Structure 1
Amino acid sequence: MNKYVLIVDCGNTNTSIGVFKENKLYSRIDIPSSIDAINGSLSRMLNFKKKLLLDDEELTGGLISSVVPSLNKAIITLLKEAFGKSIPIMDNTYFFDIKMDVNNPNEVGGDLLADAIAGKKLFDAPTLIIDLGTITKLIVLDKNKKFIGTSFFPGVETCLKSMKEKTALLPEISLNKRPKKFLGNNTVDAMQSGLYYGTLGLIKYSSIMVDDMFEGKVNKILTGGNSILFKNDANEFIIDENLVLKGIYLIYLDNIGK
């Protein structure tokens, strides 16, 4: 048998679609989170499905976590056309197997919940998770694996876009590798260096702050689309680019897949 589950993380920048088999992430595909990109991705999804030899009859279920409600209908339609089944959207009626010390649990986004639940179930506590996405999110679980709070910071891509949009002369650039030097000798190098080492400083100082909170060993995970950039400089962190997908899958198991 070749049974599988579809797990979807619709974020502000990209929508990631993961195929889980035998409780493990088997493969994933990323689509830009825009209505045009999603509506135009059917042939790509069918090729993805064909390459993995996925049969509609073997699809046992799935779950979508979305922080972009305007894209929900398009994602459901894409998956229905590609795989022949409707995949539900996760909402606050689902059971989330984690205690939270927050003012309003309904405000906690699906990506934060997925990170926290994956952190709880896959790692020892206390735990620091830093998710380097459109928004950089810091998530802390205490010694009892309770979600005790979070902190937000503009992500790498958000900062790059802001520098271009809020200035007259700075160019549009990308950051896809570690800068060779701390100080740049031209505009592009200076922008890339500032963003890389500024984000690295956030990662490292957050690590120090959480270490101080618990006066001992803290398990630290770096995830999100930009996490792999920092693997050589944030070596106290475990790098897991797929933590959100794994967390959504765990939520699926707790609610649908038993």
Structure 2
Amino acid sequence: MLLALDIGNSNIVIGASSNGEWEHQWRIQTDTDKTADEYIVLFNSLFSEIDLAFNKFDHVIISSVVPQLTRTVSEVFEKKSHTEVLILNGDVDTGLAIKRVNRKSVGADLIADSVGAYALFGDNCIVVDFGTATTVMAVQNPGELIGGAICAGLKVTIDALVGKTAQLSQIPLEPPKQVIGGSTMEAMQSGLVLGHLCMIEGLIDRMKKQLGGSAKVVATGGLSEQIAEHTDYFDVIDPMLTLDGLRLIMERQQK
């Protein structure tokens, strides 16, 4: 059984896969203050609820954008699963070429997203990941990650605005009925939610032009399903895309 972990700034997304299918998924809050022993207790609690144990995992792969947790979590599984943990980075053979971006600095989650997207479409494609940051990455046929754009995530933007404006309360992550907001709350929803969408749509249009005029687009990340309801720019919405990319990368290593 394969265990894949995507360690993000806000959440750790975990999936257990057997025969290419995701059998179990979890999402827990990222906590850099937890020790390896504390994470052992946490993971053991998650696994025991479905009668899983650490020693059931033959392969473990991690993508992480939180360096202080990368080593901690990998140590947990090396110790408890007695298996070598693959930590994804730009030097790992993923099947995608990385020539035009700095392979040392590109985020592991962005690599996994791109692998999953290219496996999905097999042609020029763009993947939008709605996480703590909103990322828009482009893959060009015949399989090269050529770069992308990294923007402040929607929740981060909202939190920043609300934190600087004492008279404004937290707003729902949904657009108003009309783009011209009739109240302060609706105006904020229009500017933040619709404004974020307009930014993403504009980036997609420009990236498609650079890619030669056409590219399929997939959305992923914690807010992907919620945001995708309000645009027709996405060909596919796949919240499991990052984990699928990790699974495909591990399968490649095994071959």
Q: Same fold (TM over 0.5)?
A: yes
| Kept after mapping to 1: 8 A contact 2:132/2:154 | yes
* Partner SS, residue 64 of structure 1: strand
1:190 aligns with 2:187: yes
Q: 1:73 to 1:208 in 2, by over 3 A?
A: closer
Match for residue 112 of structure 2?
114
Match for residue 132 of structure 1?
130
| Identity within the alignment, % | 26
1:166 aligns with 2:153: no
Q: 1:213 to 1:35 in 2, by over 3 A?
A: closer
Give the TM-score, by structure 2 length. Answer: 0.85
Alignment of 1:1-258 (within 5 A): 4-36=1-33, 45-76=43-74, 79=77, 87-173=85-171, 175=173, 177=174, 179-237=176-234, 238-255=236-253, 257-258=254-255
Query: Any unmatched runs of 5+ in structure 2?
Result: none
CA deviation string 1:90-146 (max 9, x = no partner)? 344422321124242211110111111112222231101111111111111123222
Question: Matches of 1:25 and 1:172 in 2, distance apart?
Answer: 35
Give the TM-score, by structure 1 length. Answer: 0.84
How far is 1:159 from its partner?
A: 0.5
CA deviation string 1:53-108 (max 9, x = no partner)? 32444321111111101122442355568767664433444223211242422111
Question: Matches of 2:86 and 2:139 in 1, distance apart?
Answer: 28
Question: Matches of 1:15 and 1:221 in 2, distance apart?
Answer: 21
Compare 101-110 and 91-100 and name the one that shifted more.
Answer: 91-100
| Kept after mapping to 2: 8 A contact 1:124/1:219 | no
| Kept after mapping to 1: 8 A contact 2:136/2:149 | yes
Question: Matches of 2:76 and 2:28 in 1, distance apart?
Answer: 11
Q: How many residues are treated as equivalent by the alignment?
A: 253
C-alpha RMSD of matched pairs (Å): 2.7
| Kept after mapping to 2: 8 A contact 1:136/1:153 | yes
Query: Any unmatched runs of 5+ in structure 1?
Result: none
